[in-house]
């Protein structure tokens, strides 16, 4: 299967599939497709697996795509500014990703949930109790908000990450959380009480922005209900003219 990623901070991945190839994607992630592509919506893996998958931020149903003959083209895009990360999944080579990161994949890829075994990791790590696990065989694509930073950690190399900024990592990487420091730095540094720690060996992918940070930065600039009511429900715009 050939693929191409286009765009800058609003990337789109287009996949070229043949008559025997099928791909599946997160519901609502389709951007466009050629006329000979047909899609169907399925609860991939049965009821229980679909239910577990919905807890990881994905929809209960996944959409599958195949062609009616010849080569077809299907394209997917994320729902926020960010990057698309291509991952080649092989037997014995799995990846753990932030919940709701999955975008699309070849049919041989298995999308499942990965749960944090320790209470503290899920409660304080910022990544949540439930992550996504990608295994099987084939290409998979994740959508990561913000810019993407890739790091290759050596054995026992430690990387401390602000909570919520871990996008994906290999299972060989040890994921944990720890206090940011003393009482003063924990409460007044603006970095929160805890940080995520990643210990090698293995690859990790970090994101420069979280959706929560984006929403917080935009909130002061958005109209509020009070401002709407005080102006009598009128909307005033100023042009360039």
* Full strand arrangement of the beta sheet holding 109-115: 109-115, 130-136, 95-97, 166-169, 202-207, 148-153
Which residue intervals of the chain are DSSP H helices? 47-55, 119-124, 183-188, 211-218, 225-230
pLDDT at residue 58, as a whole number: 52
Given a cut of 70, the residues of the chain with pLDDT beneath it are: 43-61, 116-129, 180-193, 211-219, 225-241
pTM metric for this prediction: 0.77
pLDDT at residue 67, as a whole number: 95
pLDDT at residue 7, as a whole number: 92
**Pairwise CA distance, residues 49 & 25, whole Å:** 16
pLDDT at residue 218, as a whole number: 65
Q: Which CATH number fits domain 2-215: 3.40.250.10, 3.40.50.20, 3.40.50.1370, 3.60.160.10?
A: 3.60.160.10
pLDDT at residue 238, as a whole number: 43
pLDDT at residue 211, as a whole number: 66
């Amino acid at each position: 299967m050939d693929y191409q990623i286009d765009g800058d901070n609003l990337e789109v991945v287009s996949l070229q599939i043949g008559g025997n190839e099928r791909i599946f994607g997160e519901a609502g992630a389709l951007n466009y497709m050629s006329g000979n592509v047909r899609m169907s919506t399925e609860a991939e893996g049965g009821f229980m697996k679909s239910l577990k998958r919905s807890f990881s931020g994905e929809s209960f149903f996944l959409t599958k795509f195949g062609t009616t003959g010849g080569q077809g083209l299907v394209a997917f895009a994320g729902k926020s500014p960010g990057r698309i990360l291509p991952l080649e999944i092989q037997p014995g080579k799995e990846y753990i990703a932030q919940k709701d990161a999955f975008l699309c994949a070849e049919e041989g890829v298995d999308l499942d949930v990965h749960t944090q075994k320790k209470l503290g990791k899920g409660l304080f790590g910022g990544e949540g109790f439930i992550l996504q696990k990608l295994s099987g065989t084939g290409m998979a694509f994740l959508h990561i908000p913000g810019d993407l930073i890739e790091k290759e950690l050596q054995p026992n190399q430690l990387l401390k990450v602000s909570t919520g900024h871990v996008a994906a990592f290999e299972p060989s990487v040890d994921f944990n959380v720890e206090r940011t420091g003393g009482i003063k730095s924990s409460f007044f540094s603006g970095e929160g009480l805890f940080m995520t720690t990643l210990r090698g060996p293995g690859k990790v992918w970090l994101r420069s922005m979280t959706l929560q940070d984006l929403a917080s930065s935009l909130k002061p600039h958005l109209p509020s209900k009070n401002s709407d009511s005080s102006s009598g429900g009128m909307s005033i715009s100023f042009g360039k003219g």
